[in-house]
Amino acid sequence: MPYITTPDGTEIYYTELGEGRPVIFSHGWPLSSDAWQKELKLFADAGYRAIAHDRRGHGRSARTYRGNDMDTYVADLASLAEQLDLQDILLVGHSTGGGEVVRYAATRGAGRVSKVATAGAVPPIMLQSAANPEGTPLEVFDGIRAGVLNDRSQFYKDLAETFFGFNHQPEKRSQGLVDDFQRQGMMAGLNAAYDCVKVFSETDFTKDLEALDVPILIAHGDDDQIVPIAAAAEKAITLVSQGTLKVYEGASHGIWGDYQVALDDDILAFFAE
Protein backbone atom coordinates (compact mmCIF):
# COMPACT_ATOMS: atom_id res chain seq x y z
CA MET A 1 0.00 0.00 0.00
CA PRO A 2 1.30 3.51 -0.80
CA TYR A 3 2.37 5.77 2.05
CA ILE A 4 4.24 9.01 2.49
CA THR A 5 6.16 9.82 5.68
CA THR A 6 5.72 13.29 7.14
CA PRO A 7 8.60 15.29 8.68
CA ASP A 8 7.54 14.13 12.16
CA GLY A 9 7.75 10.49 11.06
CA THR A 10 4.02 9.79 10.66
CA GLU A 11 2.99 7.43 7.88
CA ILE A 12 0.06 8.74 5.84
CA TYR A 13 -1.77 6.32 3.58
CA TYR A 14 -3.07 7.45 0.21
CA THR A 15 -4.69 5.85 -2.80
CA GLU A 16 -4.87 7.09 -6.37
CA LEU A 17 -6.37 6.29 -9.75
CA GLY A 18 -5.80 7.73 -13.20
CA GLU A 19 -3.46 10.18 -14.83
CA GLY A 20 -3.68 13.88 -15.56
CA ARG A 21 -4.33 16.99 -13.52
CA PRO A 22 -4.33 16.07 -9.81
CA VAL A 23 -7.46 16.15 -7.67
CA ILE A 24 -7.02 15.56 -3.92
CA PHE A 25 -10.02 14.44 -1.89
CA SER A 26 -10.08 15.06 1.88
CA HIS A 27 -12.56 13.04 3.93
CA GLY A 28 -14.83 13.92 6.80
CA TRP A 29 -14.84 12.67 10.38
CA PRO A 30 -14.61 9.80 11.36
CA LEU A 31 -14.13 8.37 7.89
CA SER A 32 -11.23 7.57 5.58
CA SER A 33 -10.29 7.73 1.92
CA ASP A 34 -12.73 4.86 1.40
CA ALA A 35 -15.51 7.48 1.53
CA TRP A 36 -14.25 8.73 -1.86
CA GLN A 37 -14.10 5.42 -3.73
CA LYS A 38 -16.81 6.37 -6.22
CA GLU A 39 -15.27 9.79 -6.84
CA LEU A 40 -11.81 8.30 -7.37
CA LYS A 41 -13.16 6.22 -10.25
CA LEU A 42 -15.39 8.93 -11.71
CA PHE A 43 -12.69 11.57 -11.72
CA ALA A 44 -10.04 9.17 -13.02
CA ASP A 45 -12.42 8.17 -15.81
CA ALA A 46 -12.83 11.89 -16.57
CA GLY A 47 -9.09 12.28 -17.12
CA TYR A 48 -7.82 13.33 -13.70
CA ARG A 49 -5.23 11.87 -11.36
CA ALA A 50 -7.55 11.25 -8.42
CA ILE A 51 -5.91 10.99 -4.99
CA ALA A 52 -7.38 10.49 -1.52
CA HIS A 53 -5.52 10.13 1.76
CA ASP A 54 -6.39 8.89 5.23
CA ARG A 55 -5.98 11.67 7.79
CA ARG A 56 -3.50 10.79 10.55
CA GLY A 57 -5.17 8.61 13.14
CA HIS A 58 -7.83 7.55 10.63
CA GLY A 59 -8.12 4.68 8.19
CA ARG A 60 -4.77 3.06 7.44
CA SER A 61 -2.61 6.02 8.46
CA ALA A 62 -0.54 5.88 11.65
CA ARG A 63 -2.43 6.24 14.92
CA THR A 64 -0.68 9.12 16.60
CA TYR A 65 -1.25 10.39 20.12
CA ARG A 66 -0.18 13.93 19.23
CA GLY A 67 -0.77 15.99 16.13
CA ASN A 68 -4.54 15.62 16.03
CA ASP A 69 -5.11 19.29 15.21
CA MET A 70 -5.97 21.20 12.05
CA ASP A 71 -2.56 22.74 11.47
CA THR A 72 -0.92 19.32 11.60
CA TYR A 73 -3.58 17.85 9.29
CA VAL A 74 -2.79 20.64 6.83
CA ALA A 75 0.96 20.04 7.18
CA ASP A 76 0.34 16.37 6.36
CA LEU A 77 -1.61 17.37 3.25
CA ALA A 78 1.24 19.68 2.27
CA SER A 79 3.70 16.80 2.67
CA LEU A 80 1.55 14.63 0.42
CA ALA A 81 1.43 17.29 -2.30
CA GLU A 82 5.16 17.96 -2.07
CA GLN A 83 6.29 14.35 -2.03
CA LEU A 84 4.06 13.46 -4.97
CA ASP A 85 5.25 16.66 -6.70
CA LEU A 86 1.70 17.79 -7.46
CA GLN A 87 1.06 21.05 -9.30
CA ASP A 88 -2.09 22.82 -10.51
CA ILE A 89 -4.01 20.97 -7.80
CA LEU A 90 -7.79 20.74 -7.53
CA LEU A 91 -9.03 20.16 -3.98
CA VAL A 92 -12.24 18.56 -2.75
CA GLY A 93 -13.10 18.42 0.96
CA HIS A 94 -16.11 17.08 2.83
CA SER A 95 -17.02 18.23 6.36
CA THR A 96 -13.77 18.32 8.38
CA GLY A 97 -11.94 17.78 5.11
CA GLY A 98 -13.54 20.95 3.81
CA GLY A 99 -11.82 22.88 6.54
CA GLU A 100 -8.57 21.09 5.82
CA VAL A 101 -8.50 21.97 2.12
CA VAL A 102 -9.55 25.58 2.73
CA ARG A 103 -6.75 26.13 5.24
CA TYR A 104 -4.22 24.35 3.03
CA ALA A 105 -5.16 26.43 -0.01
CA ALA A 106 -5.05 29.65 2.01
CA THR A 107 -1.83 29.02 3.93
CA ARG A 108 0.28 26.37 2.20
CA GLY A 109 -1.02 26.00 -1.34
CA ALA A 110 0.20 29.15 -3.06
CA GLY A 111 1.43 28.27 -6.51
CA ARG A 112 0.09 24.73 -6.26
CA VAL A 113 -3.69 25.02 -5.82
CA SER A 114 -5.97 26.19 -8.63
CA LYS A 115 -9.51 25.52 -7.36
CA VAL A 116 -11.30 24.26 -4.25
CA ALA A 117 -14.65 22.52 -3.84
CA THR A 118 -16.24 21.77 -0.49
CA ALA A 119 -19.35 19.83 0.53
CA GLY A 120 -21.01 20.06 3.93
CA ALA A 121 -17.85 21.78 5.13
CA VAL A 122 -17.32 23.03 8.68
CA PRO A 123 -16.00 26.56 7.94
CA PRO A 124 -16.22 29.24 9.16
CA ILE A 125 -16.76 27.67 12.64
CA MET A 126 -19.26 25.19 14.02
CA LEU A 127 -19.29 26.04 17.72
CA GLN A 128 -22.06 28.29 18.99
CA SER A 129 -21.00 31.52 20.66
CA ALA A 130 -22.24 35.06 21.14
CA ALA A 131 -20.58 35.92 17.85
CA ASN A 132 -21.94 32.76 16.17
CA PRO A 133 -25.46 32.18 17.51
CA GLU A 134 -26.34 29.95 14.54
CA GLY A 135 -23.66 27.48 15.63
CA THR A 136 -24.02 24.20 17.47
CA PRO A 137 -23.93 24.25 21.31
CA LEU A 138 -20.90 22.82 23.09
CA GLU A 139 -23.08 20.20 24.81
CA VAL A 140 -23.67 18.51 21.44
CA PHE A 141 -19.94 18.06 20.90
CA ASP A 142 -19.50 16.87 24.48
CA GLY A 143 -22.12 14.24 23.69
CA ILE A 144 -20.20 13.14 20.60
CA ARG A 145 -17.03 12.80 22.66
CA ALA A 146 -18.88 10.75 25.27
CA GLY A 147 -20.28 8.47 22.57
CA VAL A 148 -16.85 7.93 21.03
CA LEU A 149 -15.25 7.23 24.40
CA ASN A 150 -17.90 4.96 25.91
CA ASP A 151 -19.30 2.85 23.04
CA ARG A 152 -18.06 4.10 19.72
CA SER A 153 -19.23 1.03 17.79
CA GLN A 154 -22.89 1.63 18.65
CA PHE A 155 -22.44 5.40 18.57
CA TYR A 156 -21.30 5.33 14.94
CA LYS A 157 -24.29 3.19 13.96
CA ASP A 158 -26.64 5.64 15.65
CA LEU A 159 -24.90 8.70 14.20
CA ALA A 160 -25.19 7.31 10.67
CA GLU A 161 -28.97 7.76 10.81
CA THR A 162 -28.71 11.57 10.98
CA PHE A 163 -25.45 11.73 8.99
CA PHE A 164 -27.26 10.31 5.96
CA GLY A 165 -30.65 11.78 6.87
CA PHE A 166 -32.39 8.43 7.19
CA ASN A 167 -34.37 9.77 10.15
CA HIS A 168 -35.97 12.19 7.68
CA GLN A 169 -36.12 9.74 4.76
CA PRO A 170 -36.62 6.26 6.29
CA GLU A 171 -37.88 4.87 2.99
CA LYS A 172 -34.40 5.43 1.50
CA ARG A 173 -32.47 3.92 4.40
CA SER A 174 -29.47 1.81 3.37
CA GLN A 175 -28.14 -0.65 5.92
CA GLY A 176 -25.04 -0.91 3.79
CA LEU A 177 -24.26 2.78 4.22
CA VAL A 178 -24.83 2.52 7.97
CA ASP A 179 -22.54 -0.51 8.22
CA ASP A 180 -19.82 1.12 6.12
CA PHE A 181 -19.97 4.31 8.17
CA GLN A 182 -19.44 2.23 11.31
CA ARG A 183 -16.64 0.23 9.63
CA GLN A 184 -14.73 3.36 8.65
CA GLY A 185 -15.32 4.95 12.04
CA MET A 186 -13.90 1.91 13.80
CA MET A 187 -10.78 2.11 11.63
CA ALA A 188 -9.95 5.42 13.28
CA GLY A 189 -8.02 5.30 16.53
CA LEU A 190 -10.19 6.24 19.49
CA ASN A 191 -7.74 8.94 20.52
CA ALA A 192 -7.72 10.58 17.09
CA ALA A 193 -11.49 10.35 16.72
CA TYR A 194 -11.99 11.90 20.16
CA ASP A 195 -9.50 14.73 19.61
CA CYS A 196 -10.85 15.50 16.17
CA VAL A 197 -14.23 16.50 17.63
CA LYS A 198 -12.59 19.61 19.08
CA VAL A 199 -10.78 20.20 15.78
CA PHE A 200 -13.85 20.20 13.58
CA SER A 201 -16.06 22.07 16.04
CA GLU A 202 -13.78 24.77 17.43
CA THR A 203 -11.32 25.61 14.63
CA ASP A 204 -12.05 29.07 13.24
CA PHE A 205 -11.51 29.24 9.47
CA THR A 206 -12.67 32.84 9.02
CA LYS A 207 -9.22 34.20 8.15
CA ASP A 208 -8.57 31.26 5.82
CA LEU A 209 -11.74 31.97 3.85
CA GLU A 210 -10.89 35.66 3.66
CA ALA A 211 -7.35 34.89 2.45
CA LEU A 212 -8.42 32.35 -0.18
CA ASP A 213 -7.39 33.68 -3.60
CA VAL A 214 -8.63 30.87 -5.87
CA PRO A 215 -12.18 30.00 -6.99
CA ILE A 216 -14.19 27.89 -4.55
CA LEU A 217 -17.42 25.96 -5.00
CA ILE A 218 -19.24 25.73 -1.67
CA ALA A 219 -21.81 22.92 -1.81
CA HIS A 220 -24.21 22.13 1.02
CA GLY A 221 -27.40 20.19 1.61
CA ASP A 222 -30.25 22.19 3.10
CA ASP A 223 -31.17 19.21 5.31
CA ASP A 224 -27.66 18.78 6.73
CA GLN A 225 -28.23 17.84 10.39
CA ILE A 226 -24.53 17.55 11.26
CA VAL A 227 -23.20 20.85 9.88
CA PRO A 228 -26.28 23.10 9.56
CA ILE A 229 -26.10 25.29 6.47
CA ALA A 230 -26.96 28.54 8.31
CA ALA A 231 -23.76 28.38 10.37
CA ALA A 232 -21.58 27.07 7.57
CA ALA A 233 -22.03 27.57 3.81
CA GLU A 234 -24.33 30.58 4.14
CA LYS A 235 -21.65 32.36 6.18
CA ALA A 236 -18.64 31.03 4.28
CA ILE A 237 -19.86 32.37 0.95
CA THR A 238 -19.84 35.93 2.36
CA LEU A 239 -16.16 35.63 3.33
CA VAL A 240 -14.60 34.44 0.07
CA SER A 241 -13.72 36.60 -2.92
CA GLN A 242 -14.30 34.04 -5.68
CA GLY A 243 -17.05 31.82 -4.35
CA THR A 244 -20.06 30.01 -5.77
CA LEU A 245 -22.71 28.63 -3.40
CA LYS A 246 -24.68 25.57 -4.49
CA VAL A 247 -27.51 24.38 -2.24
CA TYR A 248 -28.96 20.87 -2.66
CA GLU A 249 -32.59 20.60 -1.67
CA GLY A 250 -33.28 17.84 0.85
CA ALA A 251 -29.64 16.68 0.87
CA SER A 252 -28.05 15.38 4.05
CA HIS A 253 -24.55 15.70 5.42
CA GLY A 254 -23.48 12.35 4.03
CA ILE A 255 -22.79 12.23 0.29
CA TRP A 256 -24.96 9.53 -1.25
CA GLY A 257 -27.78 8.84 -3.69
CA ASP A 258 -29.11 11.60 -5.94
CA TYR A 259 -27.10 14.18 -4.00
CA GLN A 260 -23.86 12.37 -4.78
CA VAL A 261 -24.70 12.16 -8.47
CA ALA A 262 -25.53 15.86 -8.70
CA LEU A 263 -22.57 16.94 -6.57
CA ASP A 264 -20.05 14.95 -8.59
CA ASP A 265 -21.42 16.37 -11.84
CA ASP A 266 -21.25 19.91 -10.45
CA ILE A 267 -17.68 19.56 -9.21
CA LEU A 268 -16.55 18.08 -12.53
CA ALA A 269 -18.19 20.99 -14.36
CA PHE A 270 -16.61 23.52 -11.98
CA PHE A 271 -13.16 22.04 -12.47
CA ALA A 272 -13.61 22.04 -16.26
CA GLU A 273 -14.47 25.76 -16.41
The residue extents of the domains of the chain are 3-272
Mark the ranges of the chain whose per-residue pLDDT is less than 70.
1
Catalytic residue among 54, 76, 208, 224: 224
Nearest one of 93, 73, 69 to 196, comparing CA atoms = 69
253 is catalytic: yes
DSSP letter at 55? P
Quick one: CA dihedral 169, 154, 40, 111, positive or negative? positive
What is the 3-state composition of the chain as percent helix, strand, coil, each rounded to the nearest 5?
45, 20, 35
Using DSSP, state whether 1 is helix, strand or coil.
Answer: coil
In which region does residue 164 sit, left (phi positive, over 0), alpha (psi from -120 to 50) or beta (all else)? Answer: alpha
Relative to beta strand 89-94, strand 113-119 is parallel
In this prediction the pTM is: 0.97
pLDDT attached to residue 191 = 97
226-255 burial, b for 16+ CB within 10 Å, e for fewer? bbbbebbbbbbbebbeebebbebeebbbbb
Helix extents (H) in 56-174 = 70-83, 96-107, 138-163
Neighbouring residues of 124: CB distance < 8 A, sequence distance ≥ 6: 132, 204, 205, 206, 209, 232, 235, 236, 239
pLDDT attached to residue 86 = 98
Q: Which CATH superfamily is domain 3-272 in?
A: Alpha/Beta hydrolase fold, catalytic domain (3.40.50.1820)
Catalytic residue among 33, 95, 201, 252: 95
Using DSSP, state whether 4 is helix, strand or coil.
Answer: strand
224 is catalytic: yes
Query: Helices 190-202 and 138-163 meet at what angle, rounded to 10?
Result: 110
258 is catalytic: no
Relative to beta strand 48-53, strand 11-17 is antiparallel
pLDDT attached to residue 1 = 67
For residue 5, which amino acid is it? T
Q: With 0-12 CB in 10 A as exposed, 13-18 as middle and 19+ as buried, what is 56? A: buried
